[in-house]
């Protein structure tokens, strides 16, 4: 099978999410990559170095600068004439573009796969990760989004793919980019952080969140996450949210502080290697999945922990 991987990037740097997709694609066959953007030649070069990629298609076009689905999807659909499968990371970019591609090709997408069982059979989570479905596709072309935490990352160096220019379909005229507000952060990106410190509603305010959670995260060099309740209450921006509808993470260590452990939150973090829970309610569901639990008032325990690590 010849696969086409959508490279996640910001026109300057390739994002890590791409590497796990390359691993999934290599289990299906020959891996090609697509860099769709504007002024994105450096991303093409980075993609060409990824181990296992044989060809990188670079579509460099002002219409693709913000990777709007209306402009990217027709380009992918045209490239699919010579590929058998399209794989995108299950990021907001991938989730926006891939179903549009699938409909243009008249195929069903397979969302958020956890494993490749064979050329046409995959596993994926349903019901907020409370069940794992094995699905077999009868479509000739496969359109797939890949859960990044479920696959090892391909080596970012060592490959030597050829780079080919391709032409996009241009402006669709259906949509245009207006503006972007990207949260600035020096911290490790949530989906690739080795340690995550995550706070919930029990923090009580954005000041307390900052005061209690941030120093511990700083000391551990950790990413900061949050439950939906903490985001809804305005303690942190919404891209901190871990869960069914936020980010799916699987760090080495996930420290859940003042998080009860609702099904929807667990869906986003229960594949973490070690889960630590600090909560004053000893019956909180989070303790059912925590490897290490401490029943204590977080306002005493967390500063003490920060001091002692």
Partner 1 sequence: MKILVPVKRVIDYNVKPRVKSDGSGVDLANVKMSMNPFDEISVEEAIRLKEAGKAEEIVAVSVGPQKAQETLRTALAMGADRAILVMTDEEVEPLGVAKILAKIVEEEAPKLVITGKQAIDDDSNQTGQMLAALLGWGQGTFANTVTVDGDSVDVKREIDGGLQTVKLSLPAVVTTDLRLNEPRYASLPNIMKAKKKPLDEKTPADYGVDISPRLTTTNVSEPPVRQAGEKVEDVDALVAKLKAVGAI
Choosing from 12, 130, 162, 167, the residue that interacts with partner 1 (CB under 8 A) is: 130
Cβ neighbours of 296 (radius 10 Å) = 15
Indicate the residue among 161 and 272 with the shorter CB distance to partner 1.
272
One of 164, 207, 297, 304 touching partner 1 (CB under 8 A): 304
80 to 99, contacts with partner 1 by CB under 8 A? 91-93, 95-99
210: which residues sit within 8 A by CB, 6+ positions away? none
Minimum CB separation of residue 243 from partner 1 in Å reads: 10
How many Cβ atoms sit within 10 Å of the Cβ of residue 177?
Answer: 9
Count of residues near partner 1 by CB under 8 A: 90
The distance of closest approach from Cβ of residue 55 to partner 1 in the complex, given in angstroms and rounded to an integer, is 26
Kindly tell me which of 18 and 111 has the beta carbon lying closer to partner 1.
111
In the range 244-273, which residues lie near partner 1 by CB under 8 A?
244-245, 247, 252-253, 263-264, 270
Is the CB of residue 248 less than 8 Å from the CB of residue 149? yes
CB nearer to partner 1: pick between 60 and 112: 112
Q: Report the alpha-carbon distance of residue 241 to residue 225 in Å, rounded.
A: 6
Backbone angles phi, psi at 267, to 5 degrees: -55, -25
Is 178 near partner 1 (CB under 8 A)?
Answer: yes
**By C-beta, is 25 or 222 nearer to partner 1?**
222
Over the window 132 to 171, marking each residue x when it contacts partner 1 by CB under 8 A and - when it does not, the resulting string is xxxxxxxx--------------------------------
Which of 76, 66, 93, 114 lies closest to 8, judged by CA? 93
Name which of residues 30 to 89 contact partner 1 (CB under 8 A). 66, 68-70, 73
**Candidate ranges 22-30, 150-158, 163-171, 236-244; the one touching partner 1 (CB under 8 A):** 236-244
Taking CB under 8 A as the rule, does residue 283 contact partner 1?
no
Q: Which of 82, 131, 152, 186 binds partner 1 (CB under 8 A)?
A: 131
List phi, psi (to 5°) of 19.
-65, -40
For residues 20 and 151, is the Cβ–Cβ distance under 8 A? yes
DSSP state of 130: T
By beta-carbon proximity to partner 1, the closer residue of 201 and 270 is 270
Question: 166, 77 in Cβ contact below 8 A?
Answer: no
Structure-token match 């494993």, residue found? 115
214 is an interface residue for partner 1 by CB under 8 A: no
Near partner 1 by CB under 8 A: residue from 13, 207, 281, 291: 291
Rounded Cα–Cα distance for residues 296 and 303 (Å): 12
Q: Taking CB under 8 A as the rule, does residue 129 contact partner 1?
A: yes
Angle between helices 92-105 and 69-79 (to 10 degrees): 50
Query: What span, in angstroms and rounded, lies between the C-alpha atoms of 93 and 279?
Result: 35
């Amino acid at each position: 099978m010849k696969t086409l991987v959508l490279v996640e990037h910001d026109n300057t740097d390739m994002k890590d999410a791409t590497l796990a997709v390359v691993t999934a694609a290599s289990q299906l066959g020959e891996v090609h990559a697509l860099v769709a953007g504007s002024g994105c030649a450096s991303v093409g070069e980075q993609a060409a170095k990824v181990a296992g990629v044989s060809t990188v298609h670079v579509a460099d076009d002002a219409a693709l600068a913000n990777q709007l689905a209306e402009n990217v999807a027709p380009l992918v659909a045209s490239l699919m004439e010579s590929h058998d499968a399209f794989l995108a990371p299950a990021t907001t970019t991938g989730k926006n573009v891939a179903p549009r591609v699938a409909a243009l090709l008249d195929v069903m997408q397979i969302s958020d796969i956890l494993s490749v069982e064979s050329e046409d059979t995959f596993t994926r989570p349903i019901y907020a990760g409370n069940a794992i479905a094995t699905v077999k596709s009868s479509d000739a072309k496969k359109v797939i989004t890949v859960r990044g935490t479920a696959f090892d990352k391909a080596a970012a160096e060592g490959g030597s793919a050829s780079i080919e220019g391709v032409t996009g379909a241009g402006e669709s005229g259906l949509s245009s980019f207006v503006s972007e507000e990207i949260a600035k952060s020096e911290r490790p990106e949530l989906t690739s952080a080795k340690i995550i410190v995550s706070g919930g509603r029990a923090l009580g305010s954005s000041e307390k969140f900052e005061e209690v959670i941030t120093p511990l995260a700083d000391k551990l060099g950790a990413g900061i996450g949050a439950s939906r309740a903490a985001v809804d209450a305005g303690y942190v921006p919404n891209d901190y949210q871990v869960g069914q509808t936020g980010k799916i993470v699987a760090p080495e260590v996930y420290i859940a502080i003042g998080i009860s452990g609702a099904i929807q939150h667990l869906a986003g973090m229960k594949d973490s290697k070690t889960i630590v829970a600090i909560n004053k309610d000893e019956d909180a569901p989070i303790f059912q999945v925590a490897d290490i639990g401490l029943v204590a008032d977080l306002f005493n325990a967390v500063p003490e922990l920060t001091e002692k690590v």
